[in-house]
Structure 1
Amino acid sequence: MNNVKAYSAASAKSPLAPTTIARRDPAEHDVQIEILFCGICHSDLHYARNEWSDVMPTIYPCVPGHEIIGRVTKVGYAVTKFKPGDLAAVGCLVDSDGTCPQCEAGLEQFCPNMVLTFGSQDKQLGGGTLGGYSDTIVVDEHFVLRVPSNLDLAAAAPLLCAGITTYSPLRHWGVTKGKKVGIVGLGGLGHMGVKFAHAFGAHTVVFTTSPSKKEDALRLGADEVVISRNADEMAKHVGSFDFILDAVSADHDINAYINLLRIDGNLTLVGAPDKPLSIPAFGLIFGRRSLSGSPIGGIAETQEMLDFCGEHNITADVEVIPIQKVNEAYERLLKSDVKYRFTIDMASLRSE
């Protein structure tokens, strides 16, 4: 067992603060990683402040972080995929049972016994699993991912959650050249959806309530930008979309977007509004449209996404911060005051 530096929250009302946590020694199939960068996901904030208490009560002290990029420092004797010095990444999952139908299908994100990078029960050390706001992490090699060497590592970190969360549904619903795709919301998730939809060759339309975001949406790869509060602009697109990715977490009129789908079109939710959405049945029935949701992807698909990003030089737009500013970043995140993700330079932790 090793003691390493980290930042943790002691309670729902406590700020994140320096601490020391225990990491297990690498077992035969384990990879030990020195963490170089860790993205900040809104899930980190929700978990640290126990805002998901109904479905995922926080285990304190908690160390958030599941967008991890680092360098391998040690491997177990049975590890074959990695060696010391390799770049490596860890996303939202660090284990699963490996035997259920979902795992056998490469869909570990649906495993009933999956172990999350933070917030699950730690089978070896007890307590909760502890995430990437730390000096190192030890993970079974099956859940460690290869990082294309051409990518900017700080900007690649959010690919481990924001990237796969948007890539997976776009792939699942067959977004390719010739398709018309809508992205609702231009934030941490939405900006990645625009980049992927554009790279897949789709005609990409961004929906936003903010006219000021039009220029940025076009820069990111959008072909068109629709101001969703403008009824005339919305009306021009009725019945024309093959697929719409809804990345908005605030309450909004989802039926307005369902009506934009063509026959057999799909709208997938990746944003999670606090309040239930009102969905009139006729919007779905007339047009045989479908509404679905999507979390992250499995390990194989996450690796596919990273390789795709390497081929197309896709990363997140990030603001890099030292870990000492993580609490300030959380407050700014609540105000959407970032374009479009924060990434922590973990060298700042080692300098304390």
Structure 2
Amino acid sequence: MPIATRAFAATAADAPLAPYGFNRRDPGPDDVAIEIKFCGVCHSDLHVVKNDLGGTRYPIVPGHEIAGVVAAVGANVTRFKAGDRVGVGCMVDSCRTCAACLEGEEQYCAPGMTQTYGSADPKGAEVGQTITQGGYSDRITVDQNYVLRIPDSLPLDAAAPLLCAGITTYSPLKEWGVGPGSKVAVIGLGGLGHMAVKLAHAMGAEVTVLSTSDRKKADAERMGAKHFLINSDKAAMKAAGETFDLIINTVSATHEIASHVNLLARDGTMVMLGLTTEGLPVYAMPLLWRRRRIAGSLIGGIRETQEMLNFCAEHGLACDIEVIAPDQINEAYARMEKSDVRYRFVIDMGRLDRAA
């Protein structure tokens, strides 16, 4: 029996998000039905709603930072039961047979992972859905293999953005072996950047934040940064040359990176995390001369995402958030475009009754 679902959706690139009703599928044998309590607001939600990346199909319900409580489970589900605290991140399925999936790297699924919203939805036909719909809604049904357990010590609201902002920064820190003695720089102290600072610090790294101004310096230091560098200060940038083993670049807009390459030590790597749609020029010589690298990273697999949640619980880490009602989402988007959030908006879906 279809599950009536209330949500906020975008119907066009130039239209505000508005109340929207649709049906979720009833949980099948391997499914978990989740009552969504909170959903984080990611900058990529804004990109998709505005069709900045092309290919957005409307109406679209964004949201891939989902925290809630299990409402029901299918007959084959053994890992979860009603009442469990759970999360859903950026994907809800993958092919499960390609090399990436078999290695627990479902985010790099060769045919393409099924994203939490905006992907073709082969399981949605029974309720008239052609694409997946996300977490700006009061419920969701997801295969048990793509559901995460949220540790009891993590508040659900502050845990929600960990399902994207947390894993997106945790994964490259782990992949590039960050630990005691590592020197890590984080470009941009926003939704991703503030978690990169917290996680790198908890892993034992010496952390530096690079920003365009010092207005977030106190926040950076509170989160664990030892140094703060203004990237327009040429003297300071020169003095910091050949310092960092790893630079986590979280900026999601077109920006200059060539000068930042010189901050890398020999064999250092800059990892790009921000969704940029234009080229970012670099020069060969600074790369060649110190065997430096520029790389990319995309969220993490299900196993690694659970590892990240457990790590955050162990170290008392969560996102700095501003909780909003569903009908404040358009105001939140406007503020996000001005970088006016510290550091992640989270929608309280329990307040949907007052909005829809």
> TM-score band, normalised by the shorter chain?
over 0.9
The residue that corresponds to 1:242 in the other structure is 245
User: 76, 95, 98: which is aligned to 2:96?
Assistant: 98
Q: Which amino acid aligns with 1:44?
A: D
1:49 to partner: Cα distance? 1.8
> What is the SS of the residue equivalent to 2:340?
coil
Compute the RMSD of aligned alpha carbons: 1.0
Measure the CA separation in 2 of the matches of 1:324 and 1:260: 43
Listed as ranges, the matches of 1:302-317 within 5 Å are 302-317=305-320
Shift of residue 272, structure 1, vs aligned partner: 2.7
Q: SS of the counterpart of 2:332?
A: helix
Q: Which amino acid aligns with 1:2?
A: I
Paired amino acid for 1:10: T
Choose from 79, 82, 86 the match for 2:80: 82
What displacement does 1:2 show? Answer: 1.4
Give, as a single letter, the amino acid of the residue that structure 1 aligns with 2:293.
S
The 5 A counterparts of 1:116-131 are 116-125=115-124, 126-131=129-134
Quote the residue 1:232 is aligned against.
235
Question: Alignment partner of 2:140: what SS?
Answer: strand
Match of 2:16 in 1: 15
Q: How does 1:55-74 map to 2 (within 5 A)?
A: 57-74=55-72
Tell me what 2:322 maps to: 319
Structure 2 partner of 1:42: 43
**Structure 1 Cα separation of the partners of residues 60 and 206 of structure 2:** 42
Task: State percent identity of aligned pairs.
Answer: 52
Match of 1:29 in 2: 30
2:353 aligned partner? 350
Match of 1:229, SS state, is coil
Structure 1 residues 206-217: aligned runs within 5 Å: 206-217=209-220
What SS is found at the alignment partner of 1:344? strand
- Distance of 1:237 and 1:276 partners within structure 2: 25
> How far apart, CA to CA, are the structure 1 residues paired with 2:59 and 2:272?
31
Equivalent residue letter for 1:43: S
Equivalent residue number for residue 113 of structure 1: 112
Is the contact made by 1:89 and 1:147 (CA closer than 8 Å) also made in structure 2?
yes
The answer on whether the counterparts of 2:53 and 2:277 sit within 8 Å (CA) in structure 1 is no
1:251 Cα shift?
Answer: 2.8
TM-score, normalised relative to structure 1: 0.97
SS in 2 for 1:212: coil
Gaps in structure 2 of 5+ consecutive residues: none
- Structure 2 residue matching 1:69: 3-state secondary structure: strand
User: How far apart are 1:151 and its partner, in Å?
Assistant: 1.0
Q: Distance in 1 between matches of 2:156 and 2:219?
A: 22
2:327 is aligned with 1:329: no
Deviations 1:30-59 (A, max 9, x none): 000000000000111111121111xxx111
Count of residues in correspondence between the two structures:
349
Aligned partner of 2:184 among 181, 185, 192: 181
CA contact (8 A) 1:59 1:127 kept: no
